[in-house]
Structure 1
Amino acid sequence: MAAPSSPVLFTDPTSEPCRSVHWLCKAAGIPLRLRATWLGRGHHRQEAFLRVNPRHQVPALLHGQFALSEAQAIMRYLCELHGVLDPWFGESLEERARISMLLSWHHHAVRKTVMLNHNLPVYYIPFYVGEAKHPRPQKAQVEELRANFAESLQQLEEFIGSGHFLVGGRLTAADIAIAPDLTAMDVDPDVNEILAAFPAVR
């Protein structure tokens, strides 16, 4: 049986998890075919896409007849497929455990507090649907949301410490998974002021 051709990644470039998969593949030299799946245009609700991921979510991967969703699962699958799992997901038991911990932490920390709880209601949803339908939160609410994500950024600052990377003094899947949610902070006009307190993150 012939081997499947390069996997196809169904991706919306505005999605942080999609960017994390794409960035990892670029960094690791993993061949990948990209298929634009714009959420704002409803591509994720089309029948052809639902055969790949019936849960309507990107990123999604199709490799031959094998379909996979969830960014971190896709990242791990592609690294293992191409024999580069260890450099990106840990070369020792301790590295693997720490990277796994950081990937789990990210979902309820930076991803949740910066992107889902702050950026979406404050910037993205009002922009896409209009402030008449979804008004921006009041200033006091925004300050409370920022206080919440400042705690996550402080934890990330401590994880990085005096180095430049989270694990092993090199770029790993942990850095790449978290980075898109940090770069998404650029939408905030106060981003430089916010990050001034977190020099390692910045």
Structure 2
Amino acid sequence: HGSRGAQAAVGARALSSGTEWFPSVHPIKFAGPDSKDPLSFKHYNASQVVMGKTMADWCRFSVCWWHSFRAAGADPFGSPTIARAWDDGTETIENATRRVDAAFEFFVKLGVPFYTFHDVDVTPLGRDLAEFNANFDRMQEVLAAKQAETGVQLLWGTANLFSHPRYMNGGMTSPDFGVFARAGAPGRKAMTGTHELG
């Protein structure tokens, strides 16, 4: 997907979730270096041509799901500090879908053409691998629908093979064959799922 087409499509369609998670935030636009609006681009102008390409083509900005929507604001010495109105903390499809609604509203208002994720950022873990795979399939459908609705596209997606305690000695590099085999399954699922998402 070219960034010019994605950039033009961002925000072209209204979001359908029915809930606005960022009601006080307007779509962020280029306003120039003298703008006093803190929610405006001062120097980035997506349509400005630089050396034969637009800034949108040069700068393929994306929002990283983990850092923006899943990180809890904890450090090694404290508890999580970030509470998000759309996230009730449960590992359910309903909660994951609310996160998708909030994230895509954010992407559209920010005007970014792309997003990125780890599989566990967008998918409830479930009780076992079979349930995780079913959850990933369902969330892939939700993400595909939001991509079609907004024009925001997936830049990359990958499997998180480092956060769970089973990966303390690595995922695909683990000396434990059981862990290695368990890491291969979500790795393959992430590759096929992200390929289908574009």
Do these two structures clear the TM 0.5 threshold for a shared fold by scoring above it?
Answer: no
* TM-score, normalised relative to structure 2: 0.29
Whichever structure has more helix as a proportion of its residues is 1
* TM-score, normalised relative to structure 1: 0.28
